[in-house]
Amino acid sequence: MQFDALGRRLRSSYPQIDLKNPREPISLTEALDLVGQFAGKEPTPKQYEIIKKIQTAIESGYKKILLSAPTGTGKSWIAIALSLYLRSSTILTSTVLLQDQYRNEFGFFNTVRGKKRFLCEQTNRVFDCTHGYCSA
């Protein structure tokens, strides 16, 4: 794999997928397939199994669904497939490393970080922004 200066994975070519105007209707399985096309890999059978259970739950009227699965299951792919299916989403992560994983694996993600993650210009980039002169 090759990476650019920001640490994002480089691809030789991106598939032609219009994420802003996907065709109607799109199922969760189709959304997962789109994620796989973008990443250049096939979704796993376990991801298909989980996505089908989520689709059934949504069609049954569930409004809140909690997915708990081991590391490496592909929860990130499932979250992106859900965001495509729902046409909008916010994905919260508990670590900066997971934010970076989303950004590196799927280059269309924007990440939001707290002021503690940036060096303060007022302190000549010695301290983080929680110690700057403007913090009160």
Identify the residue with better confidence: 126 or 67.
Answer: 67
Residue at 92: amino acid letter: L
Which H or E run contains 55? helix 45-59
Instruction: Compute the average pLDDT of residues 66-90.
Output: 88
Average pLDDT of the segment spanning 104-129 = 77
What is this structure's pTM?
A: 0.67
Region 50-74 average pLDDT: 91
Per-residue confidence (pLDDT) for residue 17, from 0 to 100 = 54
Q: pLDDT tens digits, residue range 12-49? A: 544 455 556 655 557 899 999 988 888 888 999 999 99
pLDDT for 11: 55
CB proximity list for 132: less than 8 A, separation 6 or greater: 120, 121, 122, 123
% of the chain with per-residue pLDDT over 90? 20
Q: Three-state SS string across 65-107, please? A: CCCCCCCCCCHHHHHHHHHHHHCCCCCCCCCHHHHHHHHHHCC
